[in-house]
Each structure stands twice: as C-alpha cells, then as structure tokens.
Amino acid sequence: MNLIQHFVNGKKFLSNSKRNGKIFDPATGEQKSQIILGSKLDLDNAVIIAKKAFETWSQKPPIQRARVMFKFKELIEKNSDEITKIIVSEHGKVYEDAKGSLQRGLEIVEFACGIPQVLKGEFSENVGTNIDSWSVRQPLGVCAGITPFNFPAMVPMWMFPMAIACGNTFILKPSEKDPSCSMRLAELLTEAGLPNGVFNVVNGDKEVVDAILVNKDIQAVSFVGSTPVAKYIYENAAKNEKRVQALGGAKNHLVVMPDCDLDQAVNGLMGAAYGSAGERCMAQSVAVAVGNVADNLVNKLIKKVEALKVGPGMDKTSEMGPLISKVHLEKVKSYVDLGVKEGAKLIVDGRNLKLQGYEKGFFMGGCLFDNVKKNMKIYKEEIFGPVLSIIRVKDFNEATQLINDHEYGNGVSIYTRDGDVGRTFANKIKVGMVGINIPIPVPVAFHSFGGWKRSLFGDQHMHGPEGVRFYTKLKTITSRWPSGVRSNPEFIMPTMK
Ligand code: NAD
C-alpha cells in the first residue's frame, strides 16, 4: 500500500508518528493509500528547518524568487495531466473540472512571478528639510497554511506562491483526505530550484493543526475550511499572537429576476450547484426565484437535474463525480431526509442512485427542493453536496433582505437584464464576492478572494494585493544624512520644518 509521508527540507520524510489515516478513491470506494498523521514533534522539527531557510530566502532579491516561480509555472504546465489525475483519484471531481481548478491555482503562480513589481515601496523626498521617508514591505518569517479537501491544488496555491514570493518560508498542512497533490507540488518546487526548507508539507490532522497554533516561530496562519474550525483557528492563532486569515463555510444564493435570460440562469445554476458535486465553497446552493419566474425556473431545472450525468471523474461523459467519503455521502443524504421532514418539496431525488461497476463508490444523484423556507435547517446550514434549494420570494427587496440576513456571506449572483437592479444589488448586498449574470464569481488572481460575515474571520482576503499585504509587514524609514541641518536637542514632538 502506498504510504504518504511528509515533505521537509527538500525531501520526503517519514516520521515516527504511530498514527495513520486512510485515503480512498471516491469513485470505487476502495482504499488506495495510507497517510502518516504527523505529531507535534514533526511540526516543530519542520518549523526549525523553515526558520533556518528564512534567513537566506528572505534576503534573496525578489527577481530571483520570481525566477523560481517562472520555472514552477512551467513545471506545473508540463505535468498538468499527471497532477489533474491525482486530484481526480483522491477527490473524485471530473477531469476537466479538476484541470480547471489547477489552472486557477496556476494563475496565482503567474501573479507571483510579478512579485518585484508588486513589492515596490513608496518614497517621499524632503518630508522635512533634507529628510526623506520611505516604506517597504518585508516578509514575516515562517508562515503556515491549513487547507480543506475540496480543492487540493487550488486552495494551497492561493497561499504558498504568494507567501514564498514575498520572501517567507512555508509549512502546508493539507487535508488528510487528499494530500498527494500537495506532495507532488512540493517536488516540483524543489525541481524549480526552490532552496530546501522554504516549502514543507507536514501531513496530519488536528494534532498538527494545534501544534501550528502554539508554535512561537510561526508568524502567520492561513486557513480555509468549515466555519467552526475557521473560528477556532482565528481565536487560537490570535491568542498566540499570530497574524491570521481564516476562511469558512458558505451558503450562496443565486437570484433569478423575472427579466433575466432564463436559459442562461438555468445553465449557470446547473454548473454552480452540481459542479464538483456541490463540494465548492462558491457552489450556488440556493436559487432565489423572484416573482412570477418560479414555475418556469422549476420546470426547466427539473429536466436538467434528472438528466445530470453522474459517473467517475475519469469518464469523459461524466458531469458530476462522487462525494469525498462515505461519511460525507451519508451526511448529505441525511440533510435531504431532513428537508423532506421539514416540509420542503423534494422534486428530484438523487439519494438512491447506483452506478453499475461502481456500487461501492460515494455517488449520489442531484437533488432539487422547491418551496424551501428560511427557517428550515436545509436553508440555514451548509450541506456541501449536490442539493439545490429553491426559495420563492415576491420581489427584489425580499431577495436582498433574505441574503443579507444569512449568517454566511461568501459568494452571490444575480441574473437580470436590468443594469439598475444589478448595480443596486452589488452595492447593497452583504457578501464578499458578487456576480452579475456570472454564476460563480471567483475573483481572478490579481484581485483577492474572500467572503464576509461567518465566511471569513480576519482582515485580509487571499491572494492578489490582499495576499501581498497579509504575507508582508510594513516598515517606514525616515532618514537624514549627518551633513544636513545640525540641530540642538529637542524635547518637543518633532514636526517637519
Ligand atoms: P474542515 O474544516 O473539516 O477541514 C479543513 C482543515 O482543517 C483540514 O486540513 C483539517 O485537517 C483541519 N481540521 C478539521 N477539523 C479540525 C479540528 N477540529 N481542529 C483543527 N483542525 C481541524 O473542512 P473540509 O471538510 O476539509 O472542507 C470543506 C469546508 O471548507 C466547507 O465548509 C467549505 O465551505 C469550506 N471551504 C471554504 C472555502 C472558502 O474560501 N471560504 C474554500 C474551500 C472550502
């Protein structure tokens, strides 16, 4: 059986931790690997190495750090088929979707290639007589990233290319459900010329996470995962004096206005609700049908959800793959049971789907609920599966109020032909990422990614300009040469004369 170890100081590394986890192929339901679940000692040893590597890496000119990123980008492109297959084999999502998610990660590496330009500081000549002042952004030290199962390439790549390009060293603790992609990326970084110890992968679960939170030499923690864990990370990292950004769960709404291009909205919803089996933090799991559009919307959706092609990720005809695990499959199905009990109308039921040859795989079909109400648990909680809820409202104001009252605020979309409605929506809605006739408004690499409310704890979004701010600290220098104006001791607050 394949054993997944750690990657520390430029090589694979086997710890003496006695704890192991199981990695499954979600399409077959069979175990394919074992993973070492690291210990506090493993993490602390990796931090010692990363701290040492920081001394030289942080002093490298940004252009040299950028060159490693350029090479890394080439290597990802060259190996993209292999990496994509790793994602499919451990996560289950369909090949083209997995490839797209790798591409979105690659775009962060492309942004990081421009780090010398982005790190340029500010300079003011003569802020006082013969006095100059300038600001620079310097790296923090050892940074850590803790990532979820649903994007094994893209989410780690929101973090480490930015952190490393800024001059930090990095410890990644990927999801223990699909860690192989991170291990392969670590090898490619080494091949790209990244010095040993700058990027390290410590595999594990809560034990490694807790070790990250208390390690005094870790300066900053980036987290992406569910909201209860995000809150825990935020509170404990801050308590231990670390910089922290902790992105949590979501319940995203797509508002369908009566004037919209309905076929476009339906196609947008299908991809956004059922793509990646709904296991996306930007999945649209609630369709808000405004006014008289509801019946038409429901009729069009029913046909499409019933026709969804569910199958293994490597089958080119599959539109939706399996869920990540048996436990998660049961959890999603139990939410569908609950919705029925709560009184929502289940108009497409995918709970009993069985695929010939893949009977043990973690598959279910798409589910569609109509007449969902805002007090129901299936509306309030994140399901993270292929379940779309339709909620009917009378007008635009009721739609925006509903969304603004929800505890999550990750992504949202509106479909309309009315520019005024689109603009008002973008202005008033309390959500971090907004789409207008765009189903999944994930910002590109040179903007930043992040939600509002209980979808993000902390002050900075990820990657792009916010990523640079998160992974650097500001220093402002004020200077005068001794040959300038001579002065006597001054006991008053200096002002610029
Ligand atoms: P998760 O919270 O279970 O796990 C995330 C990470 O935290 C993993 O590395 C895991 O090992 C660790 N972890 C889990 N339980 C822990 C605990 N009790 N203490 C310390 N560490 C713990 O999330 P998941 O199931 O892997 O991923 C799905 C969740 O991630 C969904 O809620 C989804 O919305 C969210 N997500 C959010 C975004 C975003 O950008 N906001 C992006 C992707 C996923």
Would the pLDDT of 494 be above 90?
no
Query: What is residue 430's predicted lDDT score, i.e. its pLDDT?
Result: 98
Domain extents for the chain? 2-248+455-477, 252-436
Query: What is residue 144's predicted lDDT score, i.e. its pLDDT?
Result: 98
Residue 301 CA to residue 321 CA, distance in Å, equals 19
Q: Is the dihedral of CA 16, 18, 21, 23 positive or negative?
A: positive
Q: Can you list the positions of beta strands (E) in 432-471?
A: 433-436, 452-453, 456-458
Counting residues of the chain whose pLDDT is more than 90, the rounded percentage is 95
Does the beta carbon of 319 sit less than 6 angstroms from any atom of ligand 1?
no
**Best substitution site from 221, 281, 457, 463 to test ligand 1's pocket, by max atoms within 8 Å of Cβ?**
281
The CATH homologous superfamily for domain 252-436 is Aldehyde Dehydrogenase; Chain A, domain 2 (3.40.309.10)
Residue 346 CA to residue 339 CA, distance in Å, equals 8
Average pLDDT value for residue range 274-303: 97
Adjacency order of strands within the sheet including 199-201 = 11-13, 6-8, 199-201, 169-173, 142-146, 218-224, 243-247, 456-458
Does the beta carbon of 384 sit less than 6 angstroms from any atom of ligand 1?
yes
Find the DSSP H helices in 130-276.
Answer: 154-165, 180-191, 206-214, 227-239, 262-274
| pLDDT tens per residue across span 444-481 | 999 999 999 999 999 999 999 999 999 999 999 999 98
Query: What is residue 486's predicted lDDT score, i.e. its pLDDT?
Result: 64
Rounded to the nearest angstrom, the distance between the alpha carbon of 148 and the centre of ligand 1 is 4
Would the pLDDT of 497 be above 70?
no
Query: Which residues are 245's β-sheet partners?
Result: 222, 458
Query: What is residue 483's predicted lDDT score, i.e. its pLDDT?
Result: 74
Does the beta carbon of 410 sit less than 6 angstroms from any atom of ligand 1?
yes
The CATH homologous superfamily for domain 2-248+455-477 is Aldehyde Dehydrogenase; Chain A, domain 1 (3.40.605.10)
| pLDDT tens per residue across span 3-12 | 999 999 999 9
CA angle 493, 495, 497 (to 5 degrees): 145
Average pLDDT, whole number, for the chain? Answer: 96
Counting residues of the chain whose pLDDT is more than 70, the rounded percentage is 99
| pLDDT tens per residue across span 329-363 | 999 999 999 999 999 999 999 999 999 999 999 99
Among 113, 166, 181, 281, the one annotated catalytic = 281
Q: Whose CA is nearest to atom 26 of ligand 1?
A: 148
* Full-model pTM: 0.97
| pLDDT tens per residue across span 299-317 | 999 999 999 999 999 999 9
Residue 338: which residues within 8 A CB-CB, separation 6 or more? 377, 378
Q: What ligand 1 atom has the least distance to the C-alpha of 233?
A: 20
CATH topology identical between 2-248+455-477 and 252-436: no
Give yes or no: 281 in active site: yes
Q: How confident is the model at residue 29 (pLDDT cuts 50, 70, 90)?
A: very high
Residue 52 CA to residue 144 CA, distance in Å, equals 15
Note whether 103 and 73 are within 8 A (CB). Answer: no
Residue 267: which residues within 8 A CB-CB, separation 6 or more? none
Average pLDDT value for residue range 141-167: 98
| pLDDT tens per residue across span 40-87 | 999 999 999 999 999 999 999 999 999 999 999 999 999 999 999 999
